[in-house]
Amino acid sequence: MQATFSRGLAIALIATALCAGTVAYTFAAEIPAIAKRQRAEKKTFTDSEILDGFFKTAFGAEYHLAGRVDRIRKYSGPVRVTTDGVKRADRKAQLARVIADIAHRVQHLDITMTDGADANVTVHLVRDRDLNRTIAKFYGAKRAREIRKSLDPQCLSGFSKNDRLEIERSDVILSIDNGDFTFLDCAYEELLQSLGPINDTDSVSWTMFNDDVHMGYFDVYDQYLLNILYDPRIKAGMTVSEVKAVLPQVMIDVRAWVAKVNGLPLE
């Protein structure tokens, strides 16, 4: 589950195999529920199947209060992630591996952890009993009640964007108490959605941006979506028609990259 917001009047809320020679960032060997899902994962998709999910998640917002949601929203520069809240070395280490995995699998996204002032994403690690209080701290008591009533979130994230629809800052709220699988499932979904694809959809059965789908890892289908979004030819503020105009060449390059990092045959 996720809530996404933007600065000023633009506010949107929404419910929340490898390349040879590279380091593998995977939790499958450690967590049986993830290994089971990876064994059953669908990895072959048509362009139509991929683009259906891209347009449904990169445009719109599941729970929308105000502001434009008909344009591309994304970071246009480096993404630097830091943590605050509960001091849990194990959760911070898992989060670092999640971020390294995202960096490894999204070609044109510069994302890494930092302890410095350059952070533009903060992951707030909270105990489950403090989740609602933390939501209220970020969104106010009234909006927090609306979020709980509409979304019943286990974890949330939000971002602020400028007038060009470039994301400038994100905040992710993760509970540390619900076990490794749930923590990782939330961490991947919220971090990835805080990068731009904020619209959950129940009509695409392969994406973690479907509330009925729980992966716990960065699946191949969602790698397609994020690699399209962060291709340099896809700009913040683009309309659907503007995106469609550049997609033919983008898809060629994205298919080659996703095949490479996952050790898949190039279709």
Residue 254 CA, chain-centre distance (Å), reads 17
In angstroms, the CA 3 to CA 144 distance is 10
pLDDT number for residue 4: 46
pLDDT number for residue 45: 97
Q: Are 224 and 48 in contact (CB under 8 A)?
A: no
Residues 6+ apart with CB under 8 A from 49: 206
266: DSSP letter: P
pLDDT number for residue 13: 37
Q: Structure pTM? A: 0.86
pLDDT number for residue 21: 34
Tell me which fold the domain 11-262 belongs to.
Answer: Collagenase (Catalytic Domain) (3.40.390)
Query: Which residue ranges make up each domain of the chain?
Result: 11-262
Weakly modelled stretches of the chain, pLDDT under 50 = 1-24, 62-67
Q: Where are the alpha helices (DSSP H) in the chain?
A: 32-40, 47-58, 89-105, 131-139, 141-151, 180-193, 220-229, 240-262
Cβ atoms within 10 Å of 141's Cβ, excluding its own = 10
**12 strand-pairing partners:** 64
Which of 195, 217, 203 has the alpha carbon at shortest distance from 41? 217
pLDDT number for residue 225: 98
